[in-house]
Structure 1
Amino acid sequence: MPAAKSLSLPTPADTTLDCAVAVAIFDLDNTLIAGDSDHSWGEFLVERQLVDADHYRRANDQFYEDYKRGELDIHAYQRFVLQQVAQFSAEQQQALLADFMTHKIAPLHLPKAQALLEHHRAAGDFLLIITATNRFITAPIAEALQVDQLIATEPEIVAGQYTGEIIDPPCYQAGKVTRWRSFMTETKRQGETCYFYSDSINDLPLLTEVDHPVAVDPCPQLNAAAEARGWPIISLR
């Protein structure tokens, strides 16, 4: 795979960015952070000895390989994750998330990703994370990154308890397009310029919909697709 270009942030005079305020959309995992938060959550549970280590690690790794191939059963995977979350009390959930943020997510910080966010923020753009990972895991990450909005796969919650299921449509592959279109309509942003930064072939449906698709440290499949379409390829690593 050809090396990605180093990130070169446009200056205010650079015409590669539209002058009007835009919606800057970002995938989260392996785009704004240097790893996969979903998979890292599974590793975290194993390290804290909160699950059957061998079984959980094997299943977690297999789901991740399925995702990278673009073949993930998103409902089965989120059931695997959220049924475990449901075993913890609300107090335990919050304590685990704080521990997870400190020991698993903080080390994945990317200064260049932060600079890209700051660039769009300074331009007055609306910052949106759109991710297949569920809101339980990603809400504190989005808060730490100080984006304006998070669109994530939504866990089903009944009477204050996680059921282990998700609310359709999941924010995955074509589901991201559905969720993005709903957001643009509900916030009356139709017609606004949209940038979308992603590393994953799973995001090809949304990348082909926006005005400015950008491949970020792309997987081999997305790298090939980006090259074929003449899309920018950058690195935030």
Structure 2
Amino acid sequence: MSLAIFDLDNTLLNGDSDHAWGEFLCDKGLVDAEQYRRANDYFYQQYKAGTLDIYEFLEFALKPLSEHEPERLEELHREFMETKVAPMMLDKAATLLQKHRAQGDFLLIITATNRFVTAPIATALGVDATLATDPEQIDGRYTGKIAGTPCFQSGKVERLQTWLEQTGHSMENSYFYSDSINDKPLMELVDNPIAVDPDALLEQTAKERGWPIISLR
């Protein structure tokens, strides 16, 4: 059984679920729309440039989770899945997942986006496991802080290595699909790095390294 690892945003999805959640909060009037949208766009541009301060971003992104009861958040997420996530689903991504499933591979999503946003998406995609940035919870409520290492850049490698030790999975003949230069540390770790609709920096790196480039759009 080989390990097939997938980034989520702009890889398996035609869009960014983290940014889309911020847009959803603005649309619902749950945050100061003008101020929140400006900050959300600012962080997203930093992410795309590979210059994001993940701790500064998470302080911003996780705060709204601390302002609502868990039941209300679940209700909001169901609406978010219908209005924002469903239109981002890609037929070619589903086909790729099925190809690896048919080969007997273990399907793992590894994403910087927090687990509250991504866990239901990963369930909808039918993968075997997910590594994501974990928001801290105390007594069932989100605190607005993070728990453990953010699943971002070299943190993805750290989180994956911990997971490998805990589960006994092997990296032999492993795959990793991503669109982002932020994932270069993990792409260098696997046997089969594949750039998916890559950003300009990753596209350049993939061409220099001879990594395959594919499109799921």
TM-score by length of 2: 0.98
Larger Rg: 1
> Which range moved further: 184-193 or 149-158?
184-193
Q: Which residue does the alignment assign to 1:90? A: 70
Q: Which amino acid aligns with 2:139?
A: A
Partners of 2:93 and 2:171 in 1: how far apart? 26
Q: Which residue does the alignment assign to 2:14? A: 34
**What value does the CA root-mean-square deviation take over the aligned residues?**
0.8
Q: Which amino acid aligns with 1:119?
A: K
Q: Does 1:163 align with 2:143?
A: yes
What CA deviation, in whole Å up to 9, does each residue of 1:124-167 have, x standing for no partner?
A: 10000000000000000000001000000011111222111112
Q: Counting helix residues as a fraction of each chain, which structure ranks higher?
A: 2
1:73-222 correspondence to structure 2 within 5 Å: 73-222=53-202
Where does structure 1 lack aligned partners over 5 or more consecutive residues? 1-20
**Superposition deviation, residue 191 in structure 1:** 4.6
Where does structure 2 lack aligned partners over 5 or more consecutive residues? none
Q: Which amino acid aligns with 1:170?
A: P
**Superposition deviation, residue 193 in structure 1:** 2.2
Aligned 8 A contact 1:155 1:165 in 2: yes
> Which range moved further: 155-164 or 100-109?
155-164
Q: Which amino acid aligns with 1:93?
A: L
1:189 is paired with a residue whose SS is: coil
**Superposition deviation, residue 95 in structure 1:** 0.5
Partners of 2:59 and 2:143 in 1: how far apart? 9
TM-score by length of 1: 0.90
**Superposition deviation, residue 23 in structure 1:** 0.5
**Superposition deviation, residue 32 in structure 1:** 0.2
1:190 is paired with a residue whose SS is: coil
Identity of aligned residues (%): 57
Runs of 4+ in structure 1 over 6 Å off: none
Partners of 2:38 and 2:187 in 1: how far apart? 31
What CA deviation, in whole Å up to 9, does each residue of 1:53-105 have, x standing for no partner?
A: 11000000001011011111111211212111111111110000000000000
Q: Which amino acid aligns with 1:159?
A: D
